[in-house]
Amino acid sequence: MKKIISFLFILILAFSAFAQKDLINQDVVDMCQSGLSQEIIVAKIRNSKNTFDTSPDALKNLSDAKVPDLIIIAMMESGKSAVTTTAAIVESKEPEAVRRAVKALRRLASSTDVGVSYVNYSPLVADVKTEVEDALSDIENASIKEALRSSLTEYEFASSVWQATWRTDFIEGDLRNVAVSRYGVQKRGLLKVVWRDDFLAAIWRQGRNKFEIANSLLAQTNTKNIDSDDSLAGAWKITIVKDSKSVEFDMTITKTVGGYSGVLRSTMGNSTPVQVNRDGNTITFSYSERQKKSLLVVDFRGSLENGKITGAIVFTQNGKGEDAPFTAVKL
């Protein structure tokens, strides 16, 4: 009981400290260091006014402070960014239906973050499926419906994987091939095995990415405080072609006070926040990541015309650069 009271006291102090002012980056760092869960911090971000700095340098500082990616993404997709793209309420059931579906899927995602048990997971998926399918009947936007259905499909797939492998910690056979080729799960240990928990985590990341795309699409279709014909803000499908092979990414771009911010999501379920720059019809953005002992820098540069971006992506690592063409189509 003393531990519970102490924890509640920490929660009260943490939230009272941030209740009277706009949240800033340091507030988020402080909340993370206080021991609050990611779900609580994300909820606070989404329900508070803020003056977050999401410039490339600020994002690096957040990463250095060990702020989880999930929280950084919430910072980029909320606050003033979200206020400037707040939906103009359309006289239909669609906006509220999308919110209901996203809320249900977000509850499912939160359960996987905190460690749901095998026994509880399948019934929870069944409950969420009922809520999502009920909401889908009131949604007309084909792209939003597809993103929500895809998200639900990922969580259902995770349930079938868990059911098929609940007696072992390893993934074998056809599921092993799917884990490696489709979800990019790494083989670990001396025996180079695929662990079930790694596979489930990858599926759940993809499920979260899909419903966050649906949430971004809702904001795109209900733009209020920016021009309704803004041709860049919204959700995009990026296709990169290299050596006759193609790789796809999803990207959501949000109009902010100072320009644009984006979240790049791979088909493996990974997500990367980026700062998007626009100069007329020229669109550029870049990101970098540490790979073992070297730094990989990826630069995108393209031209926006008629709802399509075409250009080239340049990969630079160990002083060597390679380029590949890409196209991006607005969803």
Residues 6+ apart with CB under 8 A from 133: 152
- CATH number where 273 lies: 2.40.128.120
Do 200 and 243 reside in the same domain of the chain? no
Report yes or no on 59 lying in a domain: yes
Residue 68: what pLDDT? 86
Tell me if 149 is assigned to some domain.
yes
Mean pLDDT of 219-241: 67
Measured from the Cβ of residue 170, the count of other Cβ atoms closer than 10 Å reads 13
Q: Which amino acid is at 167?
A: R
Q: What is the pTM of this model?
A: 0.54
Range with the poorest average pLDDT among 70-79, 195-204, 295-304: 70-79
- pLDDT at residue 269 in the model: 60
The answer, yes or no, to whether residue 109 has pLDDT greater than 70, is yes
- Which of 148, 306, 311, 331 lies closest to 252 in space, CA to CA? 331
DSSP symbol at 319: T
Beta bridge partners of 194: 171
Residue 306 lies in a domain: yes
Judgement on whether residues 260 and 217 belong to the same structural domain of the protein: no
Assess if residue 85 is contained within a domain. Answer: no
* Residue 83: per-residue pLDDT: 40
Whole-angstrom distance, CA of residue 239 vs CA of residue 327: 5
Inter-residue contact 326 to 302 (CB < 8 Å)? yes
Same domain, 247 and 201: no
Tell me the residue range of the domain where 253 lies: 234-330
Same domain flag for 131 and 245? no
Does residue 230 surpass a pLDDT of 80?
Answer: no
Same domain, 49 and 115: no
> What's the CA gap between 38 and 294, in Å, rounded?
30
In a domain, 146, yes or no: yes
Residue 109: CA atoms inside 13 Å, Cβ hemisphere, count?
24
Within the chain, residue ranges assigned H as helices are 2-18, 25-33, 38-46, 56-64, 69-76, 79-84, 94-114, 118-136, 142-165, 173-181, 196-221
- Residue 269 — φ and ψ, nearest 5°? 95, -5
Asked whether residue 276 is assigned to any structural domain, the reply reads yes
Considering the domain architecture, whether residues 174 and 117 belong to the same structural domain is answered as yes
CA distance 329 to 263: 15
Q: Out of 192, 221, 250, pick the residue that ends a domain.
A: 221
User: At which of 20, 46, 76 does a domain end?
Assistant: 76
User: Does 80 score more than 60 pLDDT?
Assistant: no
121 and 163, same domain (yes or no): yes
pLDDT digits (tens, 9 = 90+) for 118-177: 889 999 999 999 999 999 999 988 888 988 999 999 999 999 999 988 888 888 889 989
Same structural domain for residues 104 and 205? yes
Contact 241, 325 (CB under 8 A): yes
- Residue 260, in any domain of the structure: yes
User: Do 129 and 214 have their domain in common?
Assistant: yes
The partner residues of 206 in beta bridges, in order of sequence, read: none
Count of domains for the chain: 3
Verify that 46 and 124 share a domain, yes or no: no
181 within some domain:
yes
Q: Are residues 105 and 27 in the same domain?
A: no
CA distance 105 to 126: 11
- Pair type for strands 320-330 and 234-242: antiparallel
Residue type, 233: A
Last residue of a domain, one of 221, 252, 279: 221
Nearest residue to 78 via CA among 103, 41, 112, 107: 41
Co-location of 273 and 312 in the same domain: yes
